[in-house]
Chains A and B, each alone.
Chain A
Amino acid sequence: MSSFPWLTTIGLIPLVGALVVAFLPASLADRAKQIALGFSVVALLFTVAAALQFKVGSNLQFQFQEQHSWIGQFGVSYAVGVDGIALVLIVMAAILVPVCVLAAWNDVPEIGRRQQTYFALMLVLETFMIGVFSATDVFLFYVFFEAMLIPVYFLIGSFGGSRRQYAAVKFLLFSLLGGLVMLVAVIALYHYGPGGTDGFLVQKLTGLKLDQTPGRLMFLGFFFAFAIKAPMWPVHTWLPDAATEARPATAVLLVGVLDKVGTYGMIRFCLQLFPEASKWATPAIIVLAVISVIYGALLAIGQTDIMRLIAYTSVSHFGFIVLGIFAMTSAGTAGSALYMVNHGFTTAALFLVAGMLIHRRGSKRIPDYGGWQRVTPVLAGVFLISGLSGLALPGLNSFISEFLVLLGTFQRYRVAAVIATLGIILASLYILLMYQRMMTGPKPDAAAGTPDLSHREKWVVAPLIAAFIVLGFYPKPALDVINPAVARTLQYVGVTDPVATHPAAAEGAVK
C-alpha cells in the first residue's frame, strides 16, 4: 500500500488554488482564470496518477486510506479512502472542473475581485466534492455535504441570472432541510454504534445489529436528504430553478457532480449501513424512481426554457440511477454507478453547449432559436451529439449504463423495468424536438454572422465527446473498478442475483 496521502493532496490542490486566486496581487489579477485552470489541471493529473495506482483485486473496501483523530470526544475522525464507485466519481469531477473553468472563461469578463471570487468558489467547490466522495467517516461526510452548499449558494446567488436570489435561497432551503434531517440520523447512528473516539467511521458502523424501528428511521433520515439532493420526484422542484438561474458551468457542477452525492450516498450509506431498512423501503423507492423517470421526461418535453429542459432530463436520469441502485442486482447497481459518471459528462455537454448558444443569442427560450444548424453547423453538431448521448443512443456512453439499469431491474421488478423502458421513447422526444425547434428550419436572418465554435469552446467539448465515445465502446476500465465495489455493497445488504430461469447449458460455447 502506498503511504502517499493521495486523497488529501488531490483535495488540497484546488483549495490552495482558490486561496491563490482569491488573494492575487493586483498586478496578477488578469491571470486569475489561467491560474484557476492550472490548479484544476494539476488536480486532474494527480487524480489520474492516483487512479492508476488503484488495485482492482484488493480485499480492502477502501484504498488510499488516511485516518487522523479529529474531534475524539465526539468520535469524529478525519478519515478518507475510496472504493471503485467513489474513485470513478472523483475522476469524473476532476475532469469536469477544468472543463467548466474553461467554459466559464468569459462569464465574468471584468478583471478584478469579482472574477477572482468566481473562480475561487469553483475551486473551493472542487475540494468539497473530492472530500465528500472520499470521506469514510460519516460525520466528515456530513460536514462536506453541508459545506458544498456554501460555494454553490454564492455561485448561484451572486453570479446567476435575473431570478438568482430566489433560486439560490430555494436551493439552500431544500438542501438545508434535507441536511438537518440527516444530521439527526447521523447523531443517532453514533449512538447506536460502538462509540469511542473513532465511532463515526463507516467501517465501524457497517453491519450493526440495529433494531427494526430505529434502523428504518435512520435510513429514512439519510434517504430524505439524498432524495432531495438526487433529486427525486416530488422533491425535485428546486432543481429547474437552480439550473436555469445558475451559470452553465455552475449548473454542470451542481447537476453533474453535486447531485451525485445523493445517489452515491444511497449506495454508501443507505444500502451499506441499513440493509434491513433498505430492503424494507425498496418497493416504495422503486415506485418513486419510476415516477421520476417518466415524470421528468414528460416535463422535459413540455419545457420552453433550454436550461429547465436539461434539468428535467436529469430528473428522469436520476430516476434511472436510483432504480438501478435499489434493484440490488450486480448488473443494475453497477449500471447505476456507471450512469452517475456518464450522466456527469452528458449533462455537462448539454448545459455547456446550451450555454454557448445562450451566450450567442441572449435567450434561454427555445422558440427564440430555429435554423441554427445553417448558422453554426459545428455547434449544432456538437449539440446533437450531446443530445444523442442524453437519449442513450447505443454506441455512446449513457446507453450501456441505462441498459444495465433496466436489465438489472428487470431481474427483480419486471413491471417497473418495462415502464421505465418507456423512458427511452420519451427521451427521443425531448431531445429531438428540442433539436428540431432550435437547429432546423430556414436560416434565421437575425442570427447571420454569429460565430461558430471558437478554439476555446472546442477544447471545452472535445474531452466530453471523447468520453462519450470511449465509455460507449469501452466501458471496461470503469466497470472493472465499479464491479468489486458493487459486489461488496450487495454482500453487505445480503442479496444475491436472481438466476436465469433457463440458463444456457454450455456457457463455454458463448465465449
Chain B
Amino acid sequence: MHLVQLSAGHLGALANADVIQPASGMTSLAWLLVALPLLGAAILLFGGWRTNAFGPALATGLSWASFGLGALIFFAMLGRSDAERAQSLHLFSWVPAGSFQVEAGMLVDPLSMAFVLLVTFVGSLILVYSLGYMAHDPEKRRFFAFLNLFVAAMLLLVLADSYLLLYVGWEGVGLASYLLIGFWNHNPTFATAANKAFIANRVGDFGLTVAMMLMFATFGTVSFSGVNAAVGGANAASLTAIGLMLLLAACGKSAQFPLQSWLGDAMAGPTPVSALIHAATMVTAGVYLVVRSHVIFEASPTAQTFVVIVGAITLLFGAIVGCAKDDIKKALAASTMSQIGYMMLAAGLGPVGYAFAIFHLLNHGFFKAGMFLGAGSVMHGMDDQVDMRRFGNLSGAMKVTWVTFGLGWLAILGVPPFSGFWSKDKIIEAAFIGEGWRPWIFGFAALIGAGVTAFYMSRLFFMTFHGKKRWPKDAHPHESPRSMTIPMVVLAAGSAFMGLILGPTGAIQSWLEPVVGVHVEGESPVIAVPVLTTLTLLVVAAGLGLAWMRYWREEVPVVAPVGSLPTRAARQDLFQDAVNEAVLMRPGLHLTRSLVFFDNKGVDGAVGSVAALIGGSSSRLRRVQNGFVRSYALTMLFGVVVILGAVWVVQ
C-alpha cells in the first residue's frame, strides 16, 4: 500500500513541477503583497515620532491594499484552469555560493493564495480593531509597525518558493511575535514570555535548518519544486529524517507537543496580537509547512505517523488545559493549541486530510480570531480584567460582543451548520480511516477531544456571558466602539457561513487539489459516517450540558476552589514548565556557571601557568645577570670550552 501511495505522490509532484508557469498579469505583482506592509513597517519605524499622527492609519491602509491586490490575484487565478493555476515569480538571485544556488522567488498557487487571503483579510480587520483597542497607548505607532512587519513576514512565509526563503518569513513572524508579546515588556513577566516564545521557536528552527541541510545533501536543492521532483529517488531513512526535522520546526511554530509551552505565556501580548498571530495565522504556519511538504511526508509513513501522534497528543493536551484555566485569554490559547492539534492530525493523515486541515485552519482563523477580539472587547469593558470568575452575565451589557462571540462558540463546537462542523467533523471521520490500531486510537482521540472542546468552550462562554454577575465593585461594562465591533461582526459572519459555503459544495477540496493531489475516495471509516456524525454531536452535547450545569446553573465561586489533582495539574499546564525547568533550564544554568568558572580558572589558568613558568624561569635567569664581571667571565669561559669541545667533536 505504501508503495502505491509513494508513486502516486511522486507522480503528483512531477505533474506539479511541470505545470508551474512564470507569473503573468496581476500575479507578476505578487511581490507587492509583501512589499506594501513592509514599506509600512519601515516608514513607521524609521520615521519615528514624525509618523505618530498618521502612522496607524497608514499601516492599516497598506494592509488593506495588500488584501485588495491579493483578491485581484485570486480572481485572476480563479480564471485559469486547474492545471494552470500555480504560477512562479522569479525575483532575484539570492544566494549564489558554489554548488549551493538559491533564487529568491514566489510560488503563487491555490494553497498560498488561501493563506494570502486569510492573512491579509483577518490581518486588516485586526488592524482596524487595533485602531480602537490601542487608541490610548503611547506607543501605538510601534505597535502598528510591528503588526505590518508581521503581515509582510507571514506573506513571505506562504509565498516563498524555497525552504530557505520560507525560513526568512518563518523567522520574521517569530520576530514580530517576540516584539509584540513583549510589547509591554516593562512588566518583567511579559519580557520573559517574549523570550520563551522566541527560544522555543529557535528549537524548532534547529529542525528546519537540519531539514534543509539534509535536503541539500540528498537532493542538491532546497526549492519546493526541486525537492518535490527528487523525492521519489531518495531512500526512506533520509526522507524520514527530513520529515521529522520539519515536524520539529512545525512543533515550535505551532506550539505542538513537546514545544507547546510558550503559547500560554504569549498571551502577555495585547489582545489583537493574540487574535492575529497567536490564533489565526502565525501559529498555523506549522500546518502549512507540513502540507507544503506533503510529498516528503507521503514518502515517509514513519514521519507521517509522528505528525498524527503529535497532533493527537496536542489536541488532548490543549483541551485538558483549557478546562482548568480561569484567565479568558489563556483558556483561548489552550484551545488554539488543541485546534491546531486537529489540523496537524489531519495533515498527517495524508491526502484524505490535507484539504480538511487547511479548511479547519481557515475556519479557525475566523472563529478564533473573532473570539479573541471578543475577549479583548470584554477586557476593554472590564478594565483589563481577564479572570472569568469576575465576569458573568455580560450578555446584557455587551450585546454585539455576546452575539459575535456566541457564533464563534457554536462554530468551534462543531454545531451544524456553523463553520467548524464542516471541517472538524471531516477530520474526525478521516481519523477513523485506516487499518489496525491506528483508526481506533486517533479516531477516538479526535472524538473525545470534540467533547472536551465543547465542555471548555461552553464553560468559557457561560462563565463570561451568562450566570450571575461576579463583577468587581468598580466595573462598568460597556460595549466597545465601532472600530472594534465591526471587525468582530465580520469575523462572526465568517464563522457562521464560511463552512456552509466551502464545505458541502466541495469547493475547498477542488481548490486545493492541484497542490496536494487528488484525494481518491474509496476507504471509509471503521465506523459508518452517519453513526460517527451522531456520536460526535452527542459527545459535543454532553460536553455542553456538563458545562451548563456547572457554570451557568450553579454559582461560580469568585475564588477558584483548590480542585482535584487533575484540575490542579491542568491549571499548571500539565507541569510543562516544571518539566522544562528540571530537564533543560537548571542543568543548563549549572553547566554555564561551571563553565564560566572553568574558563577563568581552568583554561586561562593553564595557559596562565605556562606564562608563569616562563616568568619564573626568567627571574631565575635574571639572578644570573648579577653584574659581577667575574661571573660573566666564568660563563664566557664555560661557553668557549663548550664551543671548542663541540667543534672538536664534529671534526
Contacts and interface: CB of A to CB of B under 8 A. Distances in A.
Name which of A301, A388, A487, A510 has the most chain B CB atoms within 10 A of its CB: A510
B567 interface: no
Nearest to A371: B186
B347 interface: no
B97 A511 contact: no
A410 B17 contact: no
Given A395-B171, A424-B209, A476-B94, A329 B99 contact: yes
A408 B100 contact: yes
Contacts of B212: 403, 407
Interface stretch (B112-120, B216-224, B290-298, B492-500): B216-224
A330 B195 contact: no
19 contacts: A333-B98, A338-B97, A373-B185, A378-B48, A381-B45, A403-B212, A424-B202, A473-B94, A479-B96, A482-B97, A483-B97, A497-B98, A500-B220, A502-B235, A503-B220, A504-B219, A505-B229, A506-B17, A507-B220
B600 to A, nearest CB: 9
A425 B206 contact: yes
B400 interface: no
B421 to A, nearest CB: 39
A418 B209 CA distance: 9
Contact of B213 (A173, A406, A480, A498): A406
B96 A476 contact: yes
A163 interface: no
Contact of A299 (B170, B186, B599): B599
A428 B202 contact: yes
B592 A421 contact: no
Nearest to A490: B98
A429 interface: yes
Interface string A294-328: 01001101110000000000000000000000000
Given A331-B97, A502-B233, A237 B603 contact: yes
A500 B95 contact: no
Interface in B440-456: none
Interface in B531-554: none
A334 B97 contact: yes
Interface of A: 173-174, 233-237, 295, 298-299, 301-303, 329-331, 333-335, 338, 371, 373-374, 378, 381, 388, 393-395, 399-400, 403-404, 406-408, 410-411, 414, 417-418, 421-422, 424-425, 428-429, 432-433, 436, 440-443, 473-476, 479-480, 482-483, 486-487, 497-507, 509-511
Nearest to B201: A428
B133 interface: no
A400 B95 contact: yes
Nearest to A240: B599
Given A407-B212, A407-B213, A483-B97, A501 B218 contact: yes
Contacts of A421: 206, 209-210, 213
Given A302-B595, A500-B220, A504-B221, A440 B234 contact: no
B98 A334 contact: yes
A406 B221 CA distance: 15
Contact of B607 (A234, A381, A440, A498): A234
Nearest to A338: B97
Contact of A486 (B98, B172, B225, B593): B98
A320 B191 CA distance: 30
B229 A504 contact: yes
Given A331-B216, A497-B98, A500-B216, 4 more contacts: A234-B607, A299-B599, A329-B98, A393-B175
Name which of B178, B217, B235 has the most chain A CB atoms within 10 A of its CB: B217
B582 interface: no
Pick the 3 closest A-B CB pairs, nearest first: A330-B98, A500-B220, A440-B191
B217 A411 contact: yes
Given A395-B172, A504-B220, A506-B229, A479 B198 contact: no
Contacts of B170: 394
Interface of B: 17-18, 45, 48, 90, 92-100, 103, 164, 167-168, 170-172, 175, 178, 182, 185-188, 191-192, 194-195, 198-199, 202-203, 205-206, 209-210, 212-214, 216-221, 223, 225-227, 229-230, 233-235, 238, 591-593, 595-596, 599, 603-604, 606-608, 611
Contacts of B202: 424-425, 428
A301 B191 contact: no
B21 to A, nearest CB: 12
A410 B217 contact: yes
B595 A298 contact: yes
A334 to B, nearest CB: 4
A479 B97 contact: yes
Contacts, number: 201
B252 to A, nearest CB: 10
Contacts of A486: 98
Name which of B98, B170, B188 has the most chain A CB atoms within 10 A of its CB: B98
A400 B230 CA distance: 24
A501 B186 contact: no
Contacts of B595: 295, 298-299, 302
B209 A406 contact: yes
A271 to B, nearest CB: 15
Contacts of B604: 237
Contact of B191 (A234, A335, A418, A441): A441
Contacts of A406: 209, 213
Given A295-B595, A331-B99, A479-B96, A425 B199 contact: yes
Contact of B219 (A295, A418, A443, A502): A502
Given A429-B199, A432-B195, A500-B217, A509 B186 contact: no
A375 B555 CA distance: 47
Contacts of A429: 199
Given A403-B209, A425-B203, A500-B217, A299 B95 contact: no
Nearest to B17: A509
Contacts of A507: 220-221, 226
B186 A443 contact: yes
A504 B227 contact: yes
A302 B596 contact: yes
B249 to A, nearest CB: 12
A497 B220 CA distance: 11
